[in-house]
Structure 1
Amino acid sequence: MSKLFCFGLGYSAARIARTLASEGWQIAGTARTQKGADTISAAGYQPFIFDGQTPNSAIAEALAASTHVLISAPPGDDDPVLRHHGDDLRRAASLNWIGYLSTIGVYGDRNGGWVDETSATDATSVRGRQRVAAEASWLALGQSLHVPTQIFRLAGIYGVGRSAIDKLREGTAHRIIKPDQVFNRIHVDDIARTVCAAMVGPTMSQVYNVTDDEPAPPQDVVTYAAELLGVAPPPEVPYADAQLSPMARSFYADNKRASNARLHQELGVTLKFPTYREGLRAILAELSGG
């Protein structure tokens, strides 16, 4: 039986887990807190607490029986999973696949130009550079174990609970205008579709951009969400005047268009939500009980 262990069984990994569980996989995963572990348990999975600061001895036993391991937990100065449980992974005799959820932020700023998986990494932020280092560490581990290891560079993740529609309803949406700025996005369901296809298909490339088909200005997404809701969009705010957190402002430091051609060509994945329009319409339908 196939068994997936997720380090960081949160928003995206939980959607992957749900897909695989429906196909008979056994699922285990970590949360940082007891509350998070209770959520994992309520979904019918085996929970473990791992806060990235100390190892959990019970995880070693679970890894020994796992066939697939997915890492969704973010790195810091190093990768906490490798630091505390790297040796457990090296002893995991049943392991035959490792997946790592990364970010297209590793490419850095390209002044709106296109990047694909052959483009050099040139992260501009500390978080981006940490991701670059973590990617290299996981690929090196997989090579040393002769276990197929794949990196999934995710665009901006959205879905129910994390969308422009949710923010408009909460009154927290903004239309920030930075000329020529574009972002790629990816619906959480399409993350699951892509990662699951890679896990069960023939091993091909080591790195995949997991993005939608249409990089778009962020204000366009908010405007379209407002149209769907039948409300006026929030006023436009020049980027220079926007009250953004340091993390939010760092996202605007990078401007690029990420190609997903490899995802289509090698994995045969057809995105359920190729642009934000399909995604937002589906979110509204779900939130409306449709």
Structure 2
Amino acid sequence: MRTLLIAGLGDVARRALPELVRHWRVFAIAHHPAAAKAARQGGALPIMANLDCQESLRRIAGLADDVWITAPPPASGLRDNRTRKLLYALAKADRIPQRISYISTTGVYGNGDGAWLDECSALHAQTERARRRVDAETALRDFAGRHGCQLNILRAPGIYALERLPLTRLLQGTPLILPAEDSYSNHIHADDLARLCIASLQQQRGGIRVFNACDDEPLTITDWYVMLAEALALPIPPQLSRAEVRQQVSPALWSYMAESRRIRNVRLAELGVALRYPTAREFVAQLAANPAWQAVALAKAGKIR
């Protein structure tokens, strides 16, 4: 059985664990006891290490046939030193991973002014967090090219699930942009992203490949929030001009609302995964018809708030 190392045991990775342990002997980097417990509960073997501490990563050298990186970059700066430290540690052995899969972000494309973008579109990352992702992609490409391992980069957009819906803005009444001036956003259900990542790790194609890991239909940001509000019987926030919204929201939130792009996902067919939620509309329709789901979503939002 092949061995797999997971760097970053967050929500998407935990969703994937039941399937991963059927095909790999799975190791997971864990910084805290809670993460180690989650790894064991999912059938993985925890390795106590810290992606911010190079010395702690010595144990992973030569450990795995395949590596799945889901850990986010540091919270500041223009470099992803976490990914770079991980790759440095992996290179300190004769046995180099044969396959690497990395969850990046569609934010690396920057603002497309609503244009359609695909995997060959130029990268124009505008926020520091997106630039850190570009740095990680660059480091991974260099590593894969130098060592001849397969690299799949999955650029994910806004990730959602029943337990991770963006309801705080609705509960707070944060204004939305008028439809005529609104930005496009893209989405993927967390379960679908987990399945896409598993498929990318199972590929035996070789080389470096980028996939836009999003669903089939971009939505305007306002459409997305209005659909959620209607499904959950929440008040729909006021809709204002772009200029008015920019004055009323935080710079961090505006950086998200200001960028507009429509992402093509045609290349996903290569992974052979049929999305359970080809569009966010289909998820919201199920949410609207399921009172139990609504209760879970609202309870989770209440805790977050």
Contact persistence 1:66–1:92 (CA under 8 A): no
Other-structure match for 1:72: 70
Measure the CA separation in 2 of the matches of 1:271 and 1:88.
35
Other-structure match for 1:136: 138
Shift of 1:248: 2.0
Aligned-pair identity (%): 31
Secondary structure at the aligned position of 2:103 is classed as strand
Other-structure match for 1:86: 87
CA distance 1:222–1:83, change in 2 (3 Å): closer
CA distance 1:174–1:117, change in 2 (3 Å): same
Question: TM-score, length-normalised on structure 2?
Answer: 0.82
Other-structure match for 1:39: 38
After TM superposition, list the pairs within 5 Å mapping 1:211-290 onto structure 2: 211-236=214-239, 238-239=241-242, 240-241=244-245, 243-264=248-269, 266-282=270-286, 285=290, 287=293
For residue 84 of structure 1, what is the amino acid of its counterpart?
Answer: K
Contact persistence 2:217–2:279 (CA under 8 A): yes
**Per-residue displacement from partner, 1:129-177 (whole Å, max 9, x unpaired)?**
221121011011011111101111101111122114x548x93564511
For residue 220 of structure 2, what is the amino acid of its counterpart?
Answer: P
Residue 17 (structure 2) pairs with residue 17 (structure 1): yes
CA distance 1:5–1:282, change in 2 (3 Å): farther
After TM superposition, list the pairs within 5 Å mapping 1:64-213 onto structure 2: 64-76=62-74, 77-90=78-91, 91=93, 93=95, 95-164=97-166, 167=168, 171-172=171-172, 174=174, 176-177=176-177, 179-203=181-205, 206-213=209-216
Shift of 1:24: 4.1
The answer to which of 132-141 and 68-77 deviates more is: 68-77
Measure the CA separation in 1 of the matches of 2:255 and 2:70.
21
Secondary structure at the aligned position of 2:219 is classed as coil
Contact persistence 1:152–1:207 (CA under 8 A): yes
The answer to which of 243-252 and 139-148 deviates more is: 243-252
For residue 80 of structure 1, what is the amino acid of its counterpart?
Answer: N
Secondary structure at the aligned position of 2:131 is classed as helix
Measure the CA separation in 2 of the matches of 1:238 and 1:50.
47
CA distance 1:24–1:203, change in 2 (3 Å): closer
Contact persistence 2:232–2:294 (CA under 8 A): no
Measure the CA separation in 2 of the matches of 1:250 and 1:106.
13
Measure the CA separation in 1 of the matches of 2:234 and 2:79.
45
Measure the CA separation in 1 of the matches of 2:228 and 2:257.
20
Question: TM-score, length-normalised on structure 1?
Answer: 0.86
Measure the CA separation in 1 of the matches of 2:285 and 2:150.
36
Measure the CA separation in 1 of the matches of 2:26 and 2:245.
46
Measure the CA separation in 1 of the matches of 2:132 and 2:14.
23
**Per-residue displacement from partner, 1:230-274 (whole Å, max 9, x unpaired)?**
44434435553464333222112311101001112x223321111
Contact persistence 2:159–2:190 (CA under 8 A): yes
For residue 211 of structure 2, what is the amino acid of its counterpart?
Answer: Y
For residue 223 of structure 2, what is the amino acid of its counterpart?
Answer: D
Secondary structure at the aligned position of 1:120 is classed as coil
Contact persistence 1:174–1:236 (CA under 8 A): no
Contact persistence 2:8–2:71 (CA under 8 A): yes
The answer to which of 44-53 and 113-122 deviates more is: 44-53
For residue 67 of structure 2, what is the amino acid of its counterpart?
Answer: V
Other-structure match for 2:302: none
User: What is the aligned-residue RMSD (CA, Å)?
Assistant: 2.7
For residue 210 of structure 2, what is the amino acid of its counterpart?
Answer: V
The answer to which of 270-279 and 47-56 deviates more is: 47-56
The answer to which of 112-121 and 12-21 deviates more is: 12-21
